[in-house]
């Protein structure tokens, strides 16, 4: 039976797991990948490491990483009327927030709330935009006062926007596709290599806290000290209105994984990924990035004395929104690329 990317994503997309609160996602991922590797363990910061041991006496360490966290909110204040105030975890466009439903990890489990919005009828005439800084937004959990609110939540509780999980053909829509679609790819790669002998040790790592400057990746790289690393993340698809291929690149859903080139990536690894794609007739796309990539590759590349690092990304529409869209075909093609890339180092 083929690996079901959709089944895995449907389970993890509904989880409330912003940076620092990834455990529920990681527990599921660890349980699923453990069937295909020699060993799994968690680090003190929370990364999950799954290892497939190689057979060569002079084997090297190849690390594949994908971050498990998502953007979210953290409760910072509860007023006397029971309204919750918050700050962002990671990069959130506050224009998306008014009128949205949120799921809060409360004291006794998940609790829903709504982000309040001042009706258009009551806004000042001539003022077309509300002040959408976090201090002017609030969450309403349908309680009478602060005392009742404290029965359900407290300062420090985290939340994420809710979203339906939609599938049409190979297209998947939901929250946290960034970057749980990449966790699905790591599972599929591990499954593909399960009964295959490999020369080198393969480290599959689900990292934490990428959305707040790749903190998990930094510690994972220091701990494992791999000979090379491939970071798996999402990148901006540019195949929808308002995007410019000249300015934003030409990246389409369904056209394959995106191989990044630029100073944050090792040139030889990028070339090897391209060569493997062409040799095995795997569709791929290229993305040129002139500076740091905004991914785990940033910190991994400059860990220890420097780690040769590549970056392969899944095209994603509407990143950092509750309606991110990815294409299952890109997940399949990226799985094949990474599998063949690893096998290319045999013998």
pLDDT tens per residue, range 293-324 = 999 999 999 999 999 999 999 999 999 999 99
Same domain, 237 and 334: yes
The residue among 161, 188, 218 that closes a domain is 161
Chain centre to alpha carbon of residue 154: 27
Residue 168 lies in a domain: no
pLDDT band at 118 (very low <50, low <70, confident <90, very high): confident
Average pLDDT over residues 39-65: 98
Residue 166 lies in a domain: no
Output the pLDDT for position 10.
98
CATH number of the domain residue 77 falls in: 2.40.30.40
Which residues contribute to the annotated binding site for Zn(2+)?
A: 67, 178, 211, 233, 320
Report the C-alpha gap between 145 and 150 in whole angstroms: 9
Average pLDDT over residues 66-86: 98
In the numeric block, which tokens belong to residue 101? 């439903």
The residue among 119, 138, 161 that closes a domain is 161
Same domain, 78 and 180: no
The residue among 135, 161, 187 that closes a domain is 161
| pLDDT for residue 1 is more than 80 | no
Residue 231 lies in a domain: yes
Same domain, 88 and 145: yes
Same domain, 33 and 123: no
Residue 334 lies in a domain: yes
Quote the mean pLDDT of the chain: 96
| pLDDT for residue 29 is more than 70 | yes
Average pLDDT over residues 161-186: 98
| Locus of tokens 């799985």 | 335
Same domain, 207 and 236: yes
| Locus of tokens 């990924």 | 273
Same domain, 94 and 127: yes
Taking CA atoms, 188 is separated from 183, 215, 276, 280, in Å, by 9, 25, 18, 18
Same domain, 262 and 143: no
Cβ neighbour number for residue 130 with a 10 Å cutoff = 16
Would you mind telling me the total number of residues written for the chain in this entry?
A: 347
CATH number of the domain residue 211 falls in: 3.40.630.10
Same domain, 23 and 145: no
Output the pLDDT for position 121.
80
Average pLDDT over residues 132-150: 94
Q: For residue 141, what are the domain limits?
A: 72-161
Output the pLDDT for position 233.
99
- 62: helix, strand or coil: strand
| pLDDT for residue 127 is more than 70 | no
Cβ neighbour number for residue 197 with a 10 Å cutoff = 10
| pLDDT for residue 109 is more than 80 | yes
Same domain, 23 and 122: no
Taking CA atoms, 122 is separated from 95, 126, 315, in Å, by 18, 12, 40
What is the tens place of the pLDDT at every residue in 176-216? Answer: 999 999 999 999 999 999 999 999 999 999 999 999 999 99
Asked if the bond preceding 5 is cis, omega within 30° of 0, the reply is no
Q: Which residues are catalytic?
A: 210
Residue 58 lies in a domain: yes
Chain centre to alpha carbon of residue 314: 10
Taking CA atoms, 184 is separated from 6, 10, 177, 278, in Å, by 9, 11, 10, 24
Total-model pTM: 0.96
**Of 26, 63, 62, 34, whose CA–CA distance to 208 is shortest?**
26
Residue 282 lies in a domain: yes
How many structural domains are present in the chain? 2
Counting residues of the chain whose pLDDT is more than 90, the rounded percentage is: 93
Same domain, 90 and 179: no
Same domain, 110 and 155: yes
Backbone angles phi, psi at 173, to 5 degrees: -120, 135
Output the pLDDT for position 253.
99
Average pLDDT over residues 63-86: 99
Helix and strand counts by DSSP (H, E) for the chain? 9, 17
Cβ neighbour number for residue 58 with a 10 Å cutoff = 7
Output the pLDDT for position 44.
97
What is the tens place of the pLDDT at every residue in 219-257? Answer: 999 999 999 999 999 999 999 999 999 999 999 999 999
Residue 170 lies in a domain: no
pLDDT band at 129 (very low <50, low <70, confident <90, very high): low
Report the C-alpha gap between 262 and 106 in whole angstroms: 43
In the numeric block, which tokens belong to residue 74? 């953290």
Report the C-alpha gap between 342 and 347 in whole angstroms: 11
Residue 11 lies in a domain: yes
Output the pLDDT for position 131.
64
Same domain, 187 and 252: yes
């Amino acid at each position: 039976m083929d690996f079901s990317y959709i089944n895995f994503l449907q389970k993890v997309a509904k989880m409330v797991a912003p940076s620092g609160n990834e455990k529920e996602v990681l527990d599921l991922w660890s349980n699923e990948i453990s069937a295909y590797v020699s060993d799994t363990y968690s680090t003190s910061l929370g990364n999950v490491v799954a290892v497939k041991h190689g057979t060569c006496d002079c084997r090297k360490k190849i690390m594949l990483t994908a971050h498990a966290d998502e953007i979210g909110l953290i409760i910072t204040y509860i007023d006397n009327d029971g309204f919750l105030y918050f700050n962002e975890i990671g990069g959130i466009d506050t224009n998306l927030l008014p009128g949205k439903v949120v799921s809060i990890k409360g004291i006794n489990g998940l609790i829903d709330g709504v982000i309040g919005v001042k009706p258009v009828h009551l806004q000042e005439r001539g003022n077309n935009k509300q002040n959408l800084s976090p201090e002017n937004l609030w969450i309403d959990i349908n309680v009478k006062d602060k005392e009742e609110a404290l029965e359900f939540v407290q300062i420090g509780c985290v939340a994420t926007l809710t979203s339906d999980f939609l599938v049409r053909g190979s297209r998947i829509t939901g929250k946290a596709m960034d970057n749980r679609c990449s966790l699905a790819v790591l599972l599929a790669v591990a499954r593909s290599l399960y009964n295959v002998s490999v020369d080198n040790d393969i480290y599959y790592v689900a990292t934490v806290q990428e959305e707040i400057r790749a903190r998990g990746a930094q510690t994972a790289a220091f701990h494992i000290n791999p000979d090379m690393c491939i970071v798996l993340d999402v990148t901006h698809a540019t195949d929808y209105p308002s995007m410019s291929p000249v300015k934003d690149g030409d990246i389409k859903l369904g056209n394959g994984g995106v191989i990044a080139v630029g100073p944050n990536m090792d040139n030889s690894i990028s070339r090897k990924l391209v060569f493997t794609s062409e040799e095995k007739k795997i569709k791929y796309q290229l993305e040129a990035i002139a500076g740091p990539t905004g991914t785990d590759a940033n910190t991994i590349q400059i860990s220890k004395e420097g780690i040769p690092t590549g970056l392969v990304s899944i095209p994603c529409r509407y990143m950092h929104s509750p309606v991110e869209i990815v294409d299952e075909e890109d997940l399949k093609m990226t799985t094949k690329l990474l599998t063949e890339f690893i096998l290319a180092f045999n013998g």
